[in-house]
Structure 1
Amino acid sequence: MNPEDRAGASGGETPPRVGVFGLLGSGNLGNDGSLEAVLGYLDTQHPDAAVDALCGGPDVVTARYRIPATRLHWYRGEYRTASRLGAIAGKGLGKLVDVFRTAAWVRRHDVVIVPGMGVLEATLPLRPWGFPYSLFLLCASGRLFGTRVALVGVGAAPITDRPTRALVRWSARLAAHRSYRDELSRDALRAMGVDTTRDAVHPDLAFALPTPGVSGPAGSPRPVCVGVMDFHGGNDDRARAEEIHRRYLDGTTRFVRALVEDGRTVRLLTGDECDATVVAAILDAVDSPLVTAAEPASLADLMKEMAAADTVVATRYHNLICALKVGTPTLALSYAAKSDALMARMGLDAYCHPAREVDADELLKKFRELEERSAEVRRTLAERNVAAARQLDDQFTALTSALFPAAHQARARARALRKAS
């Protein structure tokens, strides 16, 4: 629903002003999928809400979701390495300007939602003055101006870097509402000194997205989808980043080559724009017409590809979610505990392999075991997906109660009247 439609749906009352915040529209399909799930919730349950975004890719968000969007950072070179004095000064000035820009944006809203994403973790390389600083500004501004900031279905993990950990801890403490996508995330925040007694755990927001049907002619051979990642380790692996990347790429390439030698068709998939370099390297190394690549523009595109697959082997967290959601047997190249937790939730904890040490022979062995259990795994995933959908309905009900108390009370009164009549 566009802003004009939202403004006219309130029946004369002032519509709630809702902001969404994060690295949205920046090329990461998982982040955008979480946004799409929250926008779906707002359109369904709060169609009168006036929604806009403060995000990494405002042009993309406005074009794709038809909501106004503002650039997250004043300094346009925020994500480029600053080596010259002018760039360093620009970044420093940007940090100061963003204090006032973020505060002014937050002040215009009744509610700000941070939709999913791993905003409280550092499982990938991260600097404290990057997104952790931006999130802290958001939550501090919310507390200052009385705007309810909600971290909804977010991911968290233990953080060893002290400045990053401090910013994450204070961001979480200042938020008005928190929920997590797994128990590990809640445990990580508790270990950082955040009181999580009233915080809930629900499946990842992407499980609330529509599930596409299987495409392609009936009876046609199904490919093996291999979701790759430009993986260099985590925040604590910077010294070994290139070695980790080389091992990951070499092991994944050998696995794809082994599938081709067995006569299997392979479809390479990405989850972020940066993953294209890994796809190109594998295509160059495994020169075969049996290996092709897709260019998904959304989680819906990823799900369509994976719904048409026999089996999926994937690294990125939201690639795994897409495969599991459409019920395709899935093997995880796990780069963080969140992937292991997700696979365990869906009954596939036996099918995880470390992304840091990809052993093609061991991976192929697990892959063949998974394919032998394909029918059983599909039944298990169907059951787990029904449970996930029910749990997300509960999350959205709780979110309405926490962020839109007037609407929640009105619905409660309406239900009571229906029962009385």
Structure 2
Amino acid sequence: MTSAAGRPPRVGVFGLLGSGNLGNDGSLEAVLGYLRAEHPGAVVDALCGGPETVTARYGIPAARLHWYRGEYRTASRAGAVAGKGLGKLVDAVRTAVWVRRHDVVIVPGMGVLEATLPLRPWGFPYALFLLCAAGRLFGTRVALVGVGASAIGNRLTRALVRWSARLAAYRSYRDAPSRDAMRAMGVETARDEIYPDLAFALPTPPVSASPARPGPVCVGVMAFHGSDDDRPRAEEIHRRYLEGTIRFVRALTEAGRPVRLLTGDAVDQPVVTAIRDAVDSPLVTSAEAGSLADLMRETAAAEAVVATRYHNLVCALKAGTPTLALSYAVKSDALMERMGLGAYCHPARDIDAGRLLEQFQELEQRSAQLRRTLAERNLAAARRLEEQFSALNAILFPADPAAPAVPAADHTHAQQEVS
């Protein structure tokens, strides 16, 4: 495949990739798989949070998303404050230079338009705005592919997210509440489509023909402190979440059930340590997953899964394992409903261990039926994602003779390393 200029297309991928969040990296892996299958001649690189990890793991050149290395650390000293401020100016230039080198830039999945977890407007929301503005300025098509969005309380964050979405050349969402949230923020979404999360395009790891039964119960935990609007109560929310999870895990071990603790981000490890210390049982072990494929293998071997992080849920559902969500955002509820398990959601910020145990027991009683449901829903998700990749071919790579011409939505595109 070649660009309109007769050379291989230059494609950039952008986001908090390689930074320790397995869900973000899984979305990147899905998009790279699509590019390598459909556009093998494309020259691909990244502007991302963890460039060393992205290059080592995926074999593409990568540059740091932020010039200032302490961008996501709290700045209390004058030097740090000045460094962050200077970094905003430098990043505007660096991002523009990087975008201009590309034909297409893809933002692969991730909750880039949401504030369900704490964030600052001058962090990633500002970086995304710079990307989309540069794309519009230089005619590079920027695609927000299968992203998550939510209602945002902070006015500056909301404005940056709204303008980023408006300036993008292509938008699709991983669920209906995400599209609804962007519409409520004043973004025209009539041509924006909804597709399953990109992780559903990843291969499902093979499962042993005769897995040990009963298997463990996988419990996916999270350093959960509430949403961006919950900052004043963050520690209280975290304490209640941790106490409720500990009570549930203890109840499982007292019933003789082995428990396997899962995470989805490096920041979750202290929660694993706290649970293991509090329960103090040899039945509680923890997994060291380095990718969504690792998580899928863990969840595929489980009898059932109870999880908080969104992509822990995705992995368990894709593996076809009966799953109960400790839901911290609408996106989790929407995912469970889409996969036919909408009845098995429990609020992460207000865990009732007794009620959670009842829901879990009901989940296990319906295990065979739920496994059949998940098999059907996974097939439907795979077909729907094939449709999304076909749409991307037509909209982002119109010079590709294999891609049929279709009208593009109100949307934008890029690639190469920045010094």
TM-score normalised by length of structure 1: 0.94
Look up the equivalent residue of 2:175 and give its one-letter code.
D
Q: Are the aligned partners of 2:213 and 2:303 in contact in 1 as well (CA < 8 Å)?
A: no
Match of 1:267 among 240, 260, 263: 260
What SS is found at the alignment partner of 1:371? helix
The alpha carbon displacement at 1:118 in A equals 0.2
Q: Equivalent residue for 2:245?
A: 252
How far apart, in 1, do the equivalents of 2:274 and 2:107 lie? 35
How far apart, in 2, do the equivalents of 1:406 and 1:213 lie? 37
The alpha carbon displacement at 1:75 in A equals 0.4
Q: Equivalent residue for 1:106?
A: 99
Q: Are the aligned partners of 1:112 and 1:147 in contact in 2 as well (CA < 8 Å)?
A: yes
Look up the equivalent residue of 2:296 and give its one-letter code.
M
Q: Equivalent residue for 1:307?
A: 300
RCO comparison, higher one (Cα < 8 Å, 6+): 2
Q: Equivalent residue for 1:128?
A: 121
Match of 2:69 among 54, 71, 76: 76
Q: Equivalent residue for 2:388?
A: 395
Q: Output one character per residue of 1:281-313: Cα deviation in whole Å (capped at 9) or x when no partner.
A: 000001111100001000000000000000000
Look up the equivalent residue of 1:39 and give its one-letter code.
L
Q: How does 1:312-351 map to 2 (within 5 A)?
A: 312-351=305-344
How far apart, in 2, do the equivalents of 1:395 and 1:224 lie? 34
The alpha carbon displacement at 1:215 in A equals 4.2
The alpha carbon displacement at 1:241 in A equals 0.3
How far apart, in 2, do the equivalents of 1:321 and 1:51 lie? 26
Look up the equivalent residue of 2:59 and give its one-letter code.
R
Q: Describe the shift of the 1:217–1:383 C-alpha distance in structure 2 as closer, same or farther (beyond 3 A).
A: closer
Q: Please list every run of 5 or more consecutive structure 2 residues that lacks an aligned counterpart in the other structure.
A: 406-419
Q: How does 1:58-77 map to 2 (within 5 A)?
A: 58-77=51-70
Aligned-pair identity (%): 77
Q: Give structure 1 regions of 4+ aligned residues with deviation exceeding 3 angstroms.
A: 215-221, 409-413
Q: Output one character per residue of 1:194-248: Cα deviation in whole Å (capped at 9) or x when no partner.
A: 0001110000000000001224964453000000000000000000000000000
Task: Out of 263-272 and 215-224, give the one that drifted further.
Answer: 215-224
Structure 1 residue 239 corresponds to structure 2 residue 232: yes
How far apart, in 1, do the equivalents of 2:403 and 2:114 lie? 36
The alpha carbon displacement at 1:113 in A equals 0.1
Q: Equivalent residue for 1:355?
A: 348
How far apart, in 2, do the equivalents of 1:207 and 1:107 lie? 31
Q: Are the aligned partners of 1:58 and 1:69 in contact in 2 as well (CA < 8 Å)?
A: yes
Structure 1 residue 186 corresponds to structure 2 residue 188: no
How far apart, in 2, do the equivalents of 1:325 and 1:318 lie? 10
Q: Are the aligned partners of 1:215 and 1:307 in contact in 2 as well (CA < 8 Å)?
A: no
How far apart, in 1, do the equivalents of 2:146 and 2:307 lie? 22
Q: Equivalent residue for 2:147?
A: 154
Q: Equivalent residue for 1:296?
A: 289
Q: Are the aligned partners of 2:397 and 2:403 in contact in 1 as well (CA < 8 Å)?
A: no
Structure 1 residue 381 corresponds to structure 2 residue 381: no
Match of 2:402 among 397, 410, 414: 410
How far apart, in 2, do the equivalents of 1:234 and 1:218 lie? 38
Q: Please list every run of 5 or more consecutive structure 1 residues that lacks an aligned counterpart in the other structure.
A: 1-5, 414-421
Q: Equivalent residue for 1:170?
A: 163
How far apart, in 2, do the equivalents of 1:69 and 1:229 lie? 28
Q: Equivalent residue for 1:119?
A: 112
Match of 1:144 among 137, 142, 165: 137
TM-score normalised by length of structure 2: 0.95
How far apart, in 2, do the equivalents of 1:56 and 1:245 lie? 26
Look up the equivalent residue of 1:19 and give its one-letter code.
G
How far apart, in 2, do the equivalents of 1:278 and 1:169 lie? 34
Q: Equivalent residue for 1:199?
A: 192
How far apart, in 2, do the equivalents of 1:208 and 1:327 lie? 14
The alpha carbon displacement at 1:341 in A equals 0.3
Q: Are the aligned partners of 2:317 and 2:339 in contact in 1 as well (CA < 8 Å)?
A: yes
State how many pairs are aligned: 404
Structure 1 residue 17 corresponds to structure 2 residue 10: yes
Q: Are the aligned partners of 1:317 and 1:339 in contact in 2 as well (CA < 8 Å)?
A: yes
Structure with greater proportional helix content: 1
Q: Describe the shift of the 1:258–1:252 C-alpha distance in structure 2 as closer, same or farther (beyond 3 A).
A: same
What SS is found at the alignment partner of 2:402? helix
Q: Are the aligned partners of 1:315 and 1:334 in contact in 2 as well (CA < 8 Å)?
A: yes
How far apart, in 2, do the equivalents of 1:30 and 1:218 lie? 26
Q: Equivalent residue for 2:42?
A: 49
Q: Describe the shift of the 1:91–1:216 C-alpha distance in structure 2 as closer, same or farther (beyond 3 A).
A: farther
Q: Are the aligned partners of 1:215 and 1:304 in contact in 2 as well (CA < 8 Å)?
A: no
The alpha carbon displacement at 1:121 in A equals 0.4
Q: Output one character per residue of 1:298-334: Cα deviation in whole Å (capped at 9) or x when no partner.
A: 0000000000000000000000000000100000000
What SS is found at the alignment partner of 1:157? coil
